[in-house]
Structure 1
Amino acid sequence: MDDSFKFSTDESLSTIITVIGIYITLIMVTRLNGKRSFSKISRFDIAMTVSIGSVLATVIVSKSMTLQYAILGLVIIYSLQMLVVAIRHWKPIQSLVDNKPTFLMKNGQLLRDNLKKCKVTESDVKAKLREANVIRLSEVKAIIFESTGDISILHGTDDKLIDDWIVDF
């Protein structure tokens, strides 16, 4: 019989203890790092989230990685994220880890080149307009593809202008 179907009480107990240990560690380092841990802020944060998932999966299913090394790996990943967040205000670091928002519509004009660049369809834009309860395109001041991948709709009456600070990117 193939060893992959073999059940061992010792290995099962080891897996249970490892999962509990890594789960507790994940909760602790996530609480220390704050809400940013699993946010969808930037490509750096996404890479960090994938790294955490990889460490968790590896320690749970692999006999070659011990709980201690997994804990060390998680602490290092979270420490790196905290370091990047701390130095993120520097422009070179910011441009390295953050995506820039992109106008999809500005001054009433749909920017088709930006739609292509962001891989957003007109159907996506229409769905977001409906979600924002926009009933007239004349109400739309701007549509922005955010650094998080979300689409924001800025709308209001014709006589209201968007403050420059809001769209200064």
Structure 2
Amino acid sequence: MKAWSNLFDTTTNSLLLIFLTSIGIYVAVILYTRIAGKRSFSKMSSFDFAMTVAVGSMIATTILSKSVSLLEGGVGLIMVYGLQLIAATFRRYKWFRQFIDNQPTLLMDGEILLHDNMKAVRVTEGDLRSKLRESNVAKLSEVKAVIFETTGNLVVVHKDHNCPVDDWILKDVKR
């Protein structure tokens, strides 16, 4: 029974500290995001995902841990946002994009399932069928392509017989 009673033990000072730290770190995240841009919380690459997880972890640790001060949490956030800005700058270079970003992968070319590509990105036929249903595909003949994007999303490009898909749309996709 003693363990259960500890669930609600706290002091007024601890609650006040959590309250003030929450406000401070919240304002810092808003300020840093305004400076660094919306890309800070996009899910365009694995680096972007890592940024989101790191910021969330730092916020929680700064708010709830007595061993991390608001100043330390704020400096940690500045570092992570700074790395995000540096990565965004270097993304202009192909070698860096190839190093840091996942490559979109073609999973269906028309009606043809590309099993090797599906295996490489760990997508099952069931996952693919689910996405096709979600995208209102009634027949495989309606599909121009299915792409596993860098974000982890599956995108269905519908075939329109009156309007072919531009090659530019599929330019960076691994075939």
Scaled by the length of structure 1, the TM-score of the pair is 0.91
Q: Is the 8 A contact 1:103 1:111 kept in 2?
A: yes
16-25 vs 113-122, which deviates more? 113-122
Matches of 1:6 and 1:139, distance apart in 2:
61
Deviation at 1:158, TM superposition (A): 3.9
- The counterpart of 1:14, out of the listed 10, 13, 17, is 17
- List, as ranges, runs of 4+ consecutive aligned residues in structure 1 with deviation greater than 4 Å: none
Q: Which amino acid aligns with 1:48?
A: M
Task: Note if 1:105 corresponds to 2:113.
Answer: no
Matches of 1:157 and 1:60, distance apart in 2:
52
Task: Note if 1:72 corresponds to 2:81.
Answer: no
Q: Which amino acid aligns with 2:159?
A: G
Deviation at 1:72, TM superposition (A): 0.8
Deviation at 1:137, TM superposition (A): 0.9
Q: Is the 8 A contact 2:21 2:63 kept in 1?
A: yes
Specify the SS of the correspondent of 1:85.
helix
**Structure 2 residues not aligned, in runs of 5+:** none
Specify the SS of the correspondent of 2:33.
helix
Task: Note if 1:88 corresponds to 2:100.
Answer: no
Match of 1:157 in 2: 160
Match of 2:27 in 1: 24
Q: CA RMSD in A?
A: 1.9
Matches of 2:13 and 2:69, distance apart in 1:
15
Task: Note if 1:140 corresponds to 2:134.
Answer: no
- The counterpart of 1:129, out of the listed 121, 129, 132, is 132
1:97-126 deviation digits (Å, cap 9, x = unpaired):
111000101142101111111111112111
Specify the SS of the correspondent of 2:156.
strand
How many residues align structurally? 169
**Structure 1 residues not aligned, in runs of 5+:** none
Q: Is the 8 A contact 2:107 2:145 kept in 1?
A: yes
- % same residue: 46
Deviation at 1:157, TM superposition (A): 3.2
Are the structure 2 counterparts of residues 154 and 6 from structure 1 closer, same or farther at C-alpha, using a change threshold of 3 Å?
closer
Specify the SS of the correspondent of 1:22.
helix
Specify the SS of the correspondent of 1:142.
strand
Alignment of 1:44-55 (within 5 A): 44-55=47-58
